[in-house]
Amino acid sequence: MKVPALASCITISQERWLKVNRSACWMILAMLLSSCAAPALGPFHVGTMYGAAVSYGFHPGIDINTAVGSPIIAAADGIVVAERKGSAEGEEVYILHGEHFKSLYAHLTKVLVRKDQLVKRGQLIGLSGATQSVKRLHFEHLHFALCKISQGHCSLRSDTFDPNLFWLGGQPQCFDPGKDYSAYAPIDLTLPVACGEYAKSKLEK
């Protein structure tokens, strides 16, 4: 986009703008909106990125846009260290991967695992889309966060990392039930939302 075009669009009088530059301004607005569109994360869009400014400060995870009731799956092998049910913001699951990291899956409508349960990568752990979070942010999503444990604790305010740094193979990819993941590290993540046929198979059960 040429900056002079934008400057002429927004600096001249409203009267002239309406008569002369309306189409140019619409074009610029359309370009701006398309450049601001949600980034893709595999087959999903991201409503709020890690580190974005939000009403309570710093967004400590990524919001993956999903329809209410989408199957949420473990992003890697681990053990369920906590699950919280009945909150106004939806239910939550925490999974410990190895010794130092745990993943958080928030705003669920349903939790399908229990504390101390071992889970495998791709295992169904809940369903997404709690209505309170949808009302607040106007889109249905999974809040997915990664927290590093230090001295036995893990603060969702100060110990989080961008999950985009931990995708298996460096790119967000769907869990593939036909693939052998046994050679990967405990913190090599696949997407926490089931995709395609695998998602359908999880919902049919």
Name the one residue in this structure whose structure tokens are 């809940």. Answer: 126
Nearer to Zn ion, 63 or 83 (CB): 63
The amino acid occupying position 12 is: I
What's the min distance (Å) between Cβ of 44 and Zn ion?
A: 14
Other Cβ atoms within 10 Å of 189 Cβ, number: 26
What's the min distance (Å) between Cβ of 60 and Zn ion?
A: 8
**Nearest-CB residue to Zn ion?**
143
Nearer to Zn ion, 9 or 154 (CB): 154
What are the C-alpha distances in Å from 139 to residues 16, 58, 66, 120, 169? Answer: 38, 19, 8, 29, 29
What's the min distance (Å) between Cβ of 12 and Zn ion?
A: 41
Nearer to Zn ion, 50 or 175 (CB): 50
Q: Yes or no: say if 5 and 28 are a contact pair by the CB < 8 Å rule.
A: yes
DSSP-H helix ranges across 143-186: none
Q: Yes or no: say if 203 and 71 are a contact pair by the CB < 8 Å rule.
A: yes
Nearer to Zn ion, 7 or 40 (CB): 40
What's the min distance (Å) between Cβ of 143 and Zn ion?
A: 4
> Which residues of the chain form contacts with Zn ion (CB under 5 A)?
63, 143
The amino acid occupying position 79 is: I
